[in-house]
C-alpha cells in the first residue's frame, strides 16, 4: 500500500500508447491514476467516457490522467470504440492511456483488489481506486470505491482544486467548498501571521471562545 506523502511507485507498464515508465510519463505536473474492474462493463464505460469528455478540465489544472484494469491492451483498444460511442467522442485516438495489468501486479502493489467482485475465472477484480499524485511524485490523495459504485468526477475535479490551492497557500478548504468560496486559515498560523497574510480575514465566534475558525477569501 502507498500512504499519503509516500513517493508513488515508478512502475513500468504496457498501455494503449505503448510501454511507459510512470514518472517519465507523468512529467512535472499532477497526475491521476484511476482503476476500473473490467473492460466491456457498463459502469466502467460511463466513467471512462466521462473522463474523456473532462480532459480539457484536467488539462486546465495541469493534470495528466491514466486508467488501469486487469485486461489486455488488445481488449482495451476494442473497448475504446464503445467508450467513444457512448460518450459521443469523435475523432481518431483516445485522449488518455489505459494500463494493462493482466498479472495484477499493480493492483496488488497499490491495494486495489476488490475481494467481493470476481471475474469469470474467480479472480478478484480491481476496485474503483483514485490516486492523485503531486508534482513531487508523492501520493496526495487516495479514494477506494467498490466495483458497484461509479465515481463522481466533478467531485474529483473539486478535490484537485482544493489540493492545488492548499499546496501553495496556508489555508484549508471547509465542507462543501468550491473554488471562489471562503477558505479557512490553518490553525498552525499565529494571529500575527494570519493578519499579515490575510489582513481582511474574519473569525467565527464559538462557545469555547477559541479563535480557531478563521475565514478568508484572500487566496
**Chain segment 130-182, per-residue pLDDT in tens:** 999 999 999 999 999 988 899 999 999 999 999 999 999 999 999 999 999 99
Q: How far apart are CA 142 and CA 151, in angstroms?
A: 13
Find out whether 107 and 126 touch, Cβ atoms under 8 Å: yes
Q: How far apart are CA 9 and CA 105, in angstroms?
A: 12
User: What's residue 137's pLDDT?
Assistant: 98
**Chain segment 195-213, per-residue pLDDT in tens:** 999 999 999 999 999 999 9
Q: Over 90: is that where the pLDDT of 125 sits?
A: no
Nearest to 29 by CA among 136, 186, 144, 155: 136
Q: Over 90: is that where the pLDDT of 32 sits?
A: yes
Find out whether 159 and 128 touch, Cβ atoms under 8 Å: no
Q: How far apart are CA 101 and CA 99, in angstroms?
A: 6
Mean pLDDT of all residues belonging to the chain: 94
Q: How far apart are CA 160 and CA 16, in angstroms?
A: 25
**Percent of the chain residues topping a pLDDT of 90:** 84
Q: List active site positions.
A: 44
Q: How far apart are CA 80 and CA 55, in angstroms?
A: 15
152: left (phi > 0), else alpha (psi -120 to 50), else beta? beta
pTM for this entry: 0.92
- 97: confidence class by pLDDT, cuts 50, 70, 90: very high
Amino acid at each position: 500500500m502507498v500512504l499519503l506523502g509516500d513517493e508513488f511507485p515508478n512502475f513500468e507498464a504496457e498501455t494503449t500508447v505503448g510501454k511507459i515508465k510512470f514518472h517519465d510519463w507523468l512529467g512535472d505536473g499532477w497526475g491521476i491514476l484511476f482503476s476500473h474492474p473490467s473492460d466491456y462493463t457498463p459502469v466502467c464505460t460511463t466513467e471512462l467516457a466521462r473522463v474523456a469528455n473532462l480532459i480539457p478540465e484536467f488539462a486546465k489544472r495541469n493534470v495528466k490522467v491514466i486508467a488501469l484494469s486487469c485486461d489486455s491492451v488488445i481488449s482495451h483498444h476494442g473497448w475504446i470504440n464503445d467508450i467513444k460511442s457512448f460518450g459521443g467522442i469523435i475523432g481518431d485516438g483516445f485522449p488518455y492511456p489505459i494500463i494493462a495489468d493482466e498479472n495484477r501486479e499493480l493492483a496488488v502493489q497499490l491495494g486495489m483488489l476488490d475481494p467481493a467482485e470476481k471475474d469469470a475465472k474467480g479472480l478478484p477484480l480491481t476496485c474503483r481506486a483514485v490516486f492523485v499524485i503531486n508534482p513531487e511524485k508523492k501520493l496526495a490523495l487516495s479514494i477506494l470505491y467498490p466495483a458497484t459504485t461509479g465515481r463522481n468526477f466533478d467531485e474529483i475535479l473539486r478535490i484537485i482544486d482544493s489540493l492545488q490551492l492548499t499546496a501553495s497557500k496556508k489555508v484549508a478548504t471547509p465542507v462543501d467548498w468550491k473554488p471562489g468560496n471562503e477558505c479557512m486559515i490553518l490553525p498552525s498560523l499565529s494571529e500575527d501571521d494570519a493578519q499579515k497574510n490575510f489582513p481582511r480575514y474574519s473569525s467565527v465566534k464559538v462557545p469555547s471562545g477559541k479563535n480557531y475558525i478563521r475565514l478568508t477569501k484572500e487566496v
